[in-house]
């Protein structure tokens, strides 16, 4: 049995094992904190951010400031859409269903998020999902929005450390 495991590890390679472990640790950390504090520190759009950070730490999308500003603008755009269309504090689209107001709020949130990303150097594609989560009313209370922000900052800190480790390995090769 041990032979099968070691052979598999050798064929997969150490960098791939590190990536898998990094994802497990980061999701486990966010999930553990979410469980402990009963707040959504682990949410749908943070998953793609983690995958990009772990698999491509060398690209612009994974810079900590890009992660924070991309998701930050998405949160603000989502809240802006809710306020603009009179939906802030209303039941989510899952509960209330879709109507023209909700379509307007989500369209606004996505357009603002996309425009900001395109017009600046802070383009972070997974942030689009954050804009949707907020504009759909799924995560929109002040505490939930703060929790999203904390989760994003934790992933950005991880990204900085991971990229530093990655650049050391890359320069050694």
The confidence score (pLDDT) of residue 3 equals: 57
Residues 6+ apart with CB under 8 A from 65: 122, 156
pLDDT tens track, the chain, 173 positions: 555 444 544 555 557 888 899 999 999 999 999 999 999 999 999 999 999 999 888 888 899 999 999 999 999 999 999 999 999 999 999 999 999 999 999 999 999 999 998 888 888 999 999 999 999 999 999 999 999 999 999 999 999 998 877 655 554 44
Cα 32 from Cα 26, distance rounded (Å): 10
Q: What is the CA radius of gyration of the chain?
A: 18
Count up the domains in the chain and report the number.
1
Domain, as residue range, for 17: 2-172
Residues 6+ apart with CB under 8 A from 138: 92, 93, 94
């Amino acid at each position: 049995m041990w032979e099968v495991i070691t052979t598999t590890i050798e064929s997969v390679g150490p960098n791939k094992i590190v990536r898998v472990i990094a994802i497990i640790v980061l999701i486990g950390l966010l999930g553990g904190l979410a469980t402990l504090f009963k707040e959504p520190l682990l949410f749908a759009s943070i998953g793609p951010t983690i995958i990009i950070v772990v698999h491509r730490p060398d690209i612009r999308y994974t810079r900590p400031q890009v992660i924070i500003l991309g998701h930050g603008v998405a949160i603000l755009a989502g809240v802006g859409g809710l306020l603009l269309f009179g939906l802030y504090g209303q039941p989510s689209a899952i509960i209330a269903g879709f109507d023209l107001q909700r379509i307007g709020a989500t369209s606004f949130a996505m357009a603002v998020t996309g425009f900001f990303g395109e017009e600046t150097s802070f383009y972070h594609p997974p942030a689009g999902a954050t804009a949707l989560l907020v504009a759909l009313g799924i995560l929109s209370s002040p505490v939930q929005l703060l929790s999203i922000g904390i989760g994003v900052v934790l992933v950005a800190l991880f990204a900085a450390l991971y990229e530093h480790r990655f650049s050391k390995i890359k320069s050694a090769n």
